[in-house]
Amino acid sequence: MSKNDRDNILELVNIKKYFPIKRGFKQILRLDPPVYVKAVDDVSFQLKRGNVFVIAGESGSGKSTLARIILKAVQPDAGFIILNGEDITSKNDKKTMKKLHENVQMIQQDPYSSLNPRMRVMDIVMEPLNIHERQVSSKPERIEKVLSSLQDVRLHPADSIADQFPHMLSGGQRQRVALARALVLRPSLIIADEPVSMLDVSVRAEILQVIKSLKDRLQISCVYITHDLSTSRYIGDTIAIMYAGRIVEIGQVDKVLSRPLHPYTQALIDAIPQPFSGTSRKKNLCL
């Protein structure tokens, strides 16, 4: 394994995923050939350890499908998934999947539906520990890890928050609970699928600050999926712009957003709202 391979925690090589479009009765009788939606079409990128890789694009561009492929919730039609230098594309055995779920965690977009409303915060955050560490840690040790994870995401007092149900918390607090649940196993990679898109603007900044500080302190890598370029420069190191299942532009965040080369990238930048007349869109790319 080369040094560059060791520096990369994740590498996707020529990933493809096509979904067939359901044909009508007449099309079947005419023996029309099947038509496919190219959700992910020959996508490749590398994520360095401790970095944030931003995948940006409009709804339907293939961002979430790509996230599900990384998590192996969807099997790609072609290409390779290399995690920590190991090709896991065709490995679906119980041992490999358990190791994958220990090392890769996901933060969902909706903090209202991603948490079980019948479980207290303590049980929600402890659930990954019960699955992966029940045989190696005691109940008091798992409780301590839950409280530590809640403190990491700035939920204070942790013991009081841990005793509450999700409906007793604000949207921002719920998303912090989801982040604490993802962090409790200390994964090496987090997939964040538009984690702040359903939150108020003021709360978005707080959540992004938490993610950024944890990334810097714990050296956790992150794939950050968004349609909002205004958050990308603050949190990201590298950005890939997706359009119709393909990456049309990729590079360092500052370079891509300051000097876009593809018309679609420029269109996304132009779509950023300007709260004050005469305000530069480039300035609005920062929080």
**Tens digit of pLDDT for each residue in 86-113?**
999 998 888 888 889 889 999 988 888 8
Give the integer Cα–Cα distance in Å for 74 and 93.
Answer: 15
Indicate the residue type of 186. R
Q: What pLDDT sits at residue 285?
A: 58
Structure tokens at 167: 């409906």
pTM of the full structure: 0.87
φ/ψ of residue 116, rounded to 5:
-70, 115
Give the integer Cα–Cα distance in Å for 173 and 179.
Answer: 10
Percent of the chain with pLDDT over 70: 93
Q: What is the mean pLDDT of residues 268-281?
A: 66
Query: Can you tell me which residue has the tokens 């499908």?
Result: 65
Would you put residue 27 in left (φ > 0), alpha (ψ -120 to 50) or beta?
Answer: alpha
Contact 99, 86 (CB under 8 A): no
Q: What pLDDT sits at residue 245?
A: 95
Buried b (16+ CB within 10 A) or exposed e, 12-38: bbebbbbeeeeeeeeeeeeeeeeeeee
Would you put residue 10 in left (φ > 0), alpha (ψ -120 to 50) or beta?
Answer: beta
Buried b (16+ CB within 10 A) or exposed e, 178-209: bbbbbbbbebbbbbbbbbbebbeeebbebbbe
Pairing of strands 52-56, 86-87: unpaired
Domain residue ranges of the chain, discontinuous segments joined by +: 3-284
pLDDT(4) > 60: no
Give the integer Cα–Cα distance in Å for 167 and 119.
Answer: 10
pLDDT(233) > 90: no
Radius of gyration for the alpha carbons in the chain, expressed in angstroms and rounded:
20
Question: In which element (H, E) is residue 141 found?
Answer: helix 139-152
Confidence of residue 218 (pLDDT cuts 50, 70, 90): confident
| Domain 3-284, second-level architecture | 3-Layer(aba) Sandwich (3.40)
> Which residues fall within 8 angstroms of residue 13, CB to CB, at 6 or more apart?
44, 79, 80, 82
Of the candidate ranges 46-55, 95-104, 115-124, 181-190, the one whose mean pLDDT is the lowest: 95-104
Q: What pLDDT sits at residue 277?
A: 47
Would you put residue 279 in left (φ > 0), alpha (ψ -120 to 50) or beta?
Answer: beta
Give the integer Cα–Cα distance in Å for 39 and 130.
Answer: 35
